[in-house]
Amino acid sequence: MNKKEFGKKGWTPERLESLSGKTYVITGANTGAGFEATKILLSKGAEVFMLNRNAKKSNKAIDDLKAQFGADAKVAFIKMDLAELSSVRNAAEEVIRTVPKIDALICNAAVAQVAKQAFTNDGFESQLGINHYGHFLLVNLLFDKVEETRGRVVVVGSQGYKMGLKTIQFEDMNFDKNYHPNNTYCHSKLAQIMFAYELQHRIKKANKDVKVYVCHPGASKTSLINKDTPLMTRITWSILSASPMVQSAEKGSYPEVMCATEDNLKQQAYYGPTGRMNWGGPVGACKLEPFALDREVAGKLWDVSEKETNCTWSF
C-alpha cells in the first residue's frame, strides 16, 4: 500500500492532460459519482457514452452537461437497465455498433441497501443482479471491443465488501433465508471486486492486453441512499451527509476517473480515499483484504455468473 503515490494531496484531476480522442463508456452516469466522473472526462475533451436506465433523467443530465461544456460536448446516452439481462445485451450490441472505441469501460452503476428483498427481471436478488450479474455480462459482451483499444475495465466497489459475510453465499445467492439490506449489498460489492481480480488473472494467463482496476468512492454525497433504503439508514445518512465526514460526489468520482485514465496503476490493488476509515482524504491505494483475492471462491463465482447470465468467456 502506498498512500503517497500521488503526493500529499493524492490523485486529483489536476493530473489529467487532454483526453481528446479518448472514449469512455460508463454505467449509471446520470447522477452521483458517475455524473461527476462524466463531467471531469468531458472537461478534458473526452467522448463519453453513458449507459443509463432512465431516459428522462439521462436527457436532463445531457442538457446540464451541454449547458456546462457547450453544445458540442461529446456525450451521449444508450439505454441499459442492469436489472434486465436482455437490456444489457441490447445495450452492448448498440455500443459495439455505434461507439467507435472504448478506452475504459467504467462499471459504476449500483443500487444499495435495498430495504426489502427484491428481484431483477431475471429473478436475481436485486443488488447482486444489478451490481454484479448485470456488469459481469456487460464486461463479457464488451471485452473484445475494449481489447481492440488495449483499454481497461474499471470496477467501482465499496468499503462494504469487507462489512458483510466476507465471502460469497453460494448456497443461497438470493438471500431467501437471511436477507439483510446491508449484508446483501456488501455481498454484491464483494462479488463485483472478486470478479475483477479474477478477470485480471485470466487476462494475464490468456496474454490479453486489457487492464482491470478496482476502486471505491469513499463516503460521498450521492443519491445512493434513497427511498428504497430503510428509514433508519436514510436518517443516519442524512445526519452524516451534513457533516464533513462525507465528501462531495465530485471527490467520490476521483478514484474511478483515476482508474480510467492514469498510467502505471497496479493490478490487485484497491484505489480510493486513504483518509480516516477510507471515507475521504487523498486518493491512492487502500488496504485490500485477502479474502477478496480468494481464487477458489472467485472461480466458483465466475462459473455461477456465467451460468446465471448465460454467457461464456473464451479465456
Ligand X SMILES: NC(=O)c1ccc[n+]([C@@H]2O[C@H](COP(=O)([O-])OP(=O)(O)OC[C@H]3O[C@@H](n4cnc5c(N)ncnc54)[C@H](OP(=O)(O)O)[C@@H]3O)[C@@H](O)[C@H]2O)c1
What residues are annotated to the active site? Answer: 185
Site for ligand X contains 154 (CB under 6 A): no
**In the complex, what is the shortest distance from the CB of residue 194 to ligand X, in angstroms, rounded to a whole number?**
15
Taking the least distance from each CB to ligand X, the nearer of 23 and 188 is 188
Site for ligand X contains 53 (CB under 6 A): yes
Q: Which residue is nearest to ligand X (CB)?
A: 32
Site for ligand X contains 193 (CB under 6 A): no
Identify which range of 8-16, 49-57, 259-267, 301-309 contacts ligand X by CB under 6 A: 49-57
Residues 306, 300: Cα–Cα separation, whole Å: 10
Give the type of residue at 144: D
Nearest CA to 193 out of 114, 253, 272, 116 is that of 272
Residues 285, 282: Cα–Cα separation, whole Å: 10
> Which residue among 111, 154, 196, 214 contacts ligand X (CB under 6 A)?
111
> Which residue among 22, 24, 25, 28 contacts ligand X (CB under 6 A)?
28
Residues 112, 226: Cα–Cα separation, whole Å: 9
C-alpha torsion angle, residues 179, 181, 182, 184 (rounded to 10): 40
Number of residues that bind ligand X (CB under 6 A): 31
Site for ligand X contains 216 (CB under 6 A): yes
Residues 177, 204: Cα–Cα separation, whole Å: 38
Strands (E) in the chain, as ranges, are: 23-27, 47-52, 75-79, 104-107, 152-156, 211-215, 271-273, 283-285
**In the complex, what is the shortest distance from the CB of residue 247 to ligand X, in angstroms, rounded to a whole number?**
8
Identify which range of 195-203, 217-225, 284-292, 293-301 contacts ligand X by CB under 6 A: 217-225
Site for ligand X contains 91 (CB under 6 A): no
**In the complex, what is the shortest distance from the CB of residue 293 to ligand X, in angstroms, rounded to a whole number?**
19
